[in-house]
Amino acid sequence: MGESRYTDRFLEAVERWDGSLLGPSRENRGVEGIAVFRSDFVERFVATAHPALPGVVWGPVVSLCLYLSATAVDSALLPIVLRFVTGLLLWTLTEYLLHRFPFHRAPGSSLESKIRQFMMHGYHHEFPNHRRRLVAPLILSVPIAVPLLILYMAIFGSQHALAYFAGTVSGYIAYDWIHYYTHHFRPTTRLGKFLRRYHMEHHYKDSDSHFGISSPLWDWVFGTTGTVGPTDIERMGAGMGPSSSTPDSA
């Protein structure tokens, strides 16, 4: 097995992890993050990402797709806009399904299975505020984007697929930046406060609900909006006392 590629601190965290996704475990509270790979190059340039990366890499992809759609034969503005909006909506569904099922799948009993699931999503729940692991690195986003583009071309045809794909990629960029925003900013707008609270409830109150990050739409559709009430962070601030899984900080 290839455990030697990982840092000792990471392997210790995996071994202690019981598969729970509700708040960091006690020993990891207050810790922003840990190194996963022994290789500094892999850790810095492959496995993590600067928060600007989604816009820098995928923004030009959106522009190119829209340009090619607009200059195609028999192109018209309204159909392109409708395809773009549909693609955006398809991203919100993709985001929900990925988060609810692959990301929240229970790990197997083997160390290899635990490492795989911890890297996929368990790390984020143990170290939710790690700045360089809040947006997807290319090693994760590209393997998702390419099959989606191929699928769109098979379903919608190569002439129309790019407008759908532009909408989906725009939704992805918004998702990554909203995710970063909810963890590292204090919103002042009503919408921003709602999105942050909604995501914090997923982390600290009920990890089996609130799977939507950029939108709660599919939580409403599939009945995973969870319970209503103050999060543990708010309970502590109000002097109500924490529940069993209260984190020390957001």
pLDDT in tens, 90-123: 999 999 999 999 999 999 889 999 999 999 999 9
Token code pair at residue 8: 């000792």
Domain that holds residue 47: 3-237
246 within domain boundaries: no
Phi and psi at 37, nearest 5°, equal -105, 145
- For every residue of 140-153, DSSP letters joined together read HHHHHHHHHHHHHH
57 within domain boundaries: yes
250 within domain boundaries: no
Residue 245: what pLDDT?
40
With the C-alpha atoms ordered 34, 36, 38, 41, is the resulting torsion angle positive or negative? Answer: negative
Contact (CB, 8 A) for 59 and 171 = no
Looking up tokens 């103050």 gives: 230
Residue 106: what pLDDT?
92
82 versus 75: the higher-pLDDT residue is 82
SS3 of 62-86: HHHHHHHHHCCCCCCHHHHHHHHHH
**Would you say residue 3 has pLDDT above 90?**
no
Contact (CB, 8 A) for 135 and 177 = yes
152 within domain boundaries: yes
**Would you say residue 248 has pLDDT above 50?**
no
248 within domain boundaries: no
Rounded Cα distance, 20 and 185, in Å: 26
245 within domain boundaries: no
53 within domain boundaries: yes
Residue 2: what pLDDT?
54
Residue 4: what pLDDT?
78
36 within domain boundaries: yes
Phi and psi at 6, nearest 5°, equal -95, 155
Rounded Cα distance, 172 and 35, in Å: 26
Contact (CB, 8 A) for 210 and 194 = no
In the chain, the number of structural domains is 1
Rounded Cα distance, 208 and 217, in Å: 16
Q: What is the DSSP letter of 105?
A: P
